[in-house]
Amino acid sequence: MSIDQQLTRINVMQPWLGEEEVAAVSEVLRSGWVAQGPRVAAFEEAFAASQQAAHAVAVSNCTTALHLALVVAGIGPGDEVVVPSFSFVATANAPTYVGATPVFADVDESTGNLTPATIATVVTPRTRAVIAVDQGGVPLDLRAIRAWCDPRGIVVIEDAACAAGSTSHGRPVGAEAEIAAWSFHPRKLLTTGEGGMLTTSRPEWAARARQLREHAMSVSAADRHASVLAPPESYAEIGFNYRMTDLQAAVGLVQLGRLPEMVARRRALAARYAEVIAGLPGLRMVSDPAWGTTNFQSCWLEVLPEHPLDREELMMHLADAGISARRGIMAAHRQPAHRDRSHVPLPVTERLNDQTLILPLFHQMTDAEQARVCDALLTAWRP
Ligand SMILES: *Cc1c(COP(=O)(O)O)cnc(C)c1O
């Protein structure tokens, strides 16, 4: 290995963007229509088709999609919403936007996701919804969770922020959700810079979300603009400005076309990691659950006590080789913003939060770059 190679830093994630995205954005700029318009509509249609969702509503990011999902599902003050602490903080923050209380439940150690059993532990008569995450792209067992929640009148909101390209029971993740929220942040596979989507099987929820994202206007700005004599609009309730722009949607349309290739490459790279890690006792890597496939948005490793290094030491060892790993998924209940909430013991969340790290994995990663990461994992065992 040359000095140059040693000094080249390997990042944990890198978006895959090309000339097609540049051309798509240029076309939007030349068209003069840069805010929410025809490309947002086309992106919604294409995304709904690819995820097998009945309706898709594009929004500014996944956090605003979660907020709108809670509003259209009728969640409000006094309600409890079960969430995993083991998630990006937006999952736990969202219920507070509607005056509801997030209630932390623990996760399954192999998937990092909620299960009917962990949900059942924290449900009370005030529980009105669950935000269930496909953490790091690993599909949750939505069928099992809905089988438990639906008869009890508990709405299941799927936080599929990380999971575009993952599958469950042979269908795209989210296809069997009553409502789901998606992210197009560059840390996810498909990116629009910032961006999000809400998908739902219920036409009335889609229609209300469509109005709420645009100040609850009765006539959309795009429709008003399209007519010479704009019809008068009214505002039936207090809405928000959660719109996506046509600039973002144009990028999203190109990215959506790249998604199958991105997932295939990530899964091939992950399979190589899995082979190497299988020979290294003390490391456990995330893998597909029985009911689906992950897009490996986060390829996480648990550093078990029998490993010679602990998680922090292994991250240092990787950093010395110019490899930028990341601490695993956060635990919201340990953050100042949520620390004062009472909660049940969350032993699996805390263990995974303490012992996991995320390996570099991105579309353009070369086999040589991956070999460097594998070498560093090997030398951690046999210095
Ligand atoms: C990234 C992420 C979000 C937030 O997505 P934004 O588009 O950045 O708002 C929400 N939930 C989970 C599980 C995420 O990973």
Q: How confident is the model at residue 7 (pLDDT cuts 50, 70, 90)?
A: low
Nearest to 321 by CA among 379, 382, 368: 379
Is the per-residue pLDDT at 3 higher than 80? no
Ligand 1: residue of 13, 59, 60, 63 to mutate (most ligand atoms within 8 A of CB) is 63
Helix ranges (DSSP H) in the chain: 3-7, 19-31, 38-51, 62-72, 90-97, 116-122, 142-149, 203-212, 221-226, 246-278, 311-320, 347-355, 367-381
Name the β-bridge partners of 342.
none
Looking at the structure, do residues 82 and 211 belong to the same domain, yes or no?
A: yes
Question: Residue 226's pLDDT is what?
Answer: 77
Q: Is residue 9 part of a domain?
A: no
**Cβ atoms within 10 A of the Cβ of 289, count?**
17
Bridge-based pairing of strands 326-327 and 356-359 is antiparallel
Q: What average pLDDT does the segment 158-174 reach?
A: 98
- One-letter identity of residue 76: G
Q: Is residue 4 part of a domain?
A: no
Q: Name which residue leads in pLDDT, 115 or 381.
A: 115
Question: Residue 210's pLDDT is what?
Answer: 97
Looking at the structure, do residues 232 and 316 belong to the same domain, yes or no?
A: no
| Total of domains in the chain | 2
Rounded to the nearest angstrom, the distance between the alpha carbon of 88 and the centre of ligand 1 is 6
Residue 62 near ligand 1, beta carbon < 6 Å: yes
Is the per-residue pLDDT at 5 higher than 70? no
Q: What average pLDDT does the segment 230-235 reach?
A: 85
Q: Is residue 85 part of a domain?
A: yes
Rounded to the nearest angstrom, the distance between the alpha carbon of 19 and the centre of ligand 1 is 27
Q: Is residue 12 part of a domain?
A: no
Q: What average pLDDT does the segment 180-196 reach?
A: 98
Rounded to the nearest angstrom, the distance between the alpha carbon of 63 and the centre of ligand 1 is 6
Mapped onto helix, strand or coil, the DSSP state of residue 160 is: coil
Q: Is residue 86 part of a domain?
A: yes
Looking at the structure, do residues 115 and 23 belong to the same domain, yes or no?
A: yes
Looking at the structure, do residues 237 and 319 belong to the same domain, yes or no?
A: no
Residue 362 near ligand 1, beta carbon < 6 Å: no
Q: Whose CA is nearest to atom 1 of ligand 1?
A: 161
Nearest to 247 by CA among 47, 57, 61, 25: 25
Of 256, 278, 311, the last residue of a domain is 256
Is the per-residue pLDDT at 349 higher than 70? yes
Looking at the structure, do residues 23 and 100 belong to the same domain, yes or no?
A: yes
Residue 114 near ligand 1, beta carbon < 6 Å: no
Is the per-residue pLDDT at 95 higher than 60? yes
Rounded to the nearest angstrom, the distance between the alpha carbon of 312 and the centre of ligand 1 is 25
Looking at the structure, do residues 208 and 310 belong to the same domain, yes or no?
A: no
Point out the ligand 1 atom lying closest to the alpha carbon of residue 162.
15
Is the per-residue pLDDT at 6 higher than 90? no
Of 200, 226, 256, the last residue of a domain is 256
Question: Is the separation of the CB atoms in 360 and 373 below 8 Å?
Answer: yes
Point out the ligand 1 atom lying closest to the alpha carbon of residue 66.
10
Residue 197 near ligand 1, beta carbon < 6 Å: no
Looking at the structure, do residues 308 and 240 belong to the same domain, yes or no?
A: no
Looking at the structure, do residues 28 and 96 belong to the same domain, yes or no?
A: yes
Residue labelled with tokens 């490996």: 296
Question: Residue 383's pLDDT is what?
Answer: 59
Residue 162 near ligand 1, beta carbon < 6 Å: yes
Burial of 1 (0-12, 13-18, 19+ CB in 10 A): exposed
Of 206, 237, 256, the last residue of a domain is 256
Residue 86 near ligand 1, beta carbon < 6 Å: no
Query: What tokens appear for 295 in the block?
Result: 């897009």
Q: How confident is the model at residue 1 (pLDDT cuts 50, 70, 90)?
A: very low
CA distance 269 to 368: 11
Express each pLDDT in 284-340 by its tens digit: 999 999 999 999 999 999 999 999 999 999 999 999 999 999 999 999 999 999 999
Looking at the structure, do residues 187 and 40 belong to the same domain, yes or no?
A: yes
Per the structure, the complete domain to which residue 353 belongs is given by: 259-381
CATH number at residue 351: 3.90.1150.10
Q: Is residue 127 part of a domain?
A: yes
Bridge-based pairing of strands 299-303 and 356-359 is antiparallel
Point out the ligand 1 atom lying closest to the alpha carbon of residue 196.
7
Q: Is residue 2 part of a domain?
A: no
Q: How confident is the model at residue 113 (pLDDT cuts 50, 70, 90)?
A: very high
What mean pLDDT is reported for the chain? 96
Looking at the structure, do residues 239 and 263 belong to the same domain, yes or no?
A: no
Looking at the structure, do residues 94 and 121 belong to the same domain, yes or no?
A: yes
Q: How confident is the model at residue 42 (pLDDT cuts 50, 70, 90)?
A: very high
Q: Is residue 8 part of a domain?
A: no
Bridge-based pairing of strands 299-303 and 127-133 is unpaired
First to last CA, the chain: 17
Ligand 1: residue of 13, 114, 158, 162 to mutate (most ligand atoms within 8 A of CB) is 162
Ligand 1: residue of 62, 81, 173, 330 to mutate (most ligand atoms within 8 A of CB) is 62
Ligand 1: residue of 88, 107, 240 to mutate (most ligand atoms within 8 A of CB) is 88
Q: How confident is the model at residue 229 (pLDDT cuts 50, 70, 90)?
A: confident
CA distance 309 to 307: 5
CATH number at residue 232: 3.40.640.10
Q: What is the dihedral of CA 121, 149, 56, 72, to 10 degrees?
A: -90
CA distance 152 to 234: 37
CA distance 42 to 252: 10
Mapped onto helix, strand or coil, the DSSP state of residue 86 is: strand
Angle at 274 between CA 138 and CA 309, to 5 degrees: 100
Is the per-residue pLDDT at 222 higher than 50? yes
Looking at the structure, do residues 118 and 146 belong to the same domain, yes or no?
A: yes
CA distance 108 to 132: 12
Residue 332 near ligand 1, beta carbon < 6 Å: no
Active site members: 188
Is the per-residue pLDDT at 366 higher than 80? yes
Rounded to the nearest angstrom, the distance between the alpha carbon of 7 and the centre of ligand 1 is 32
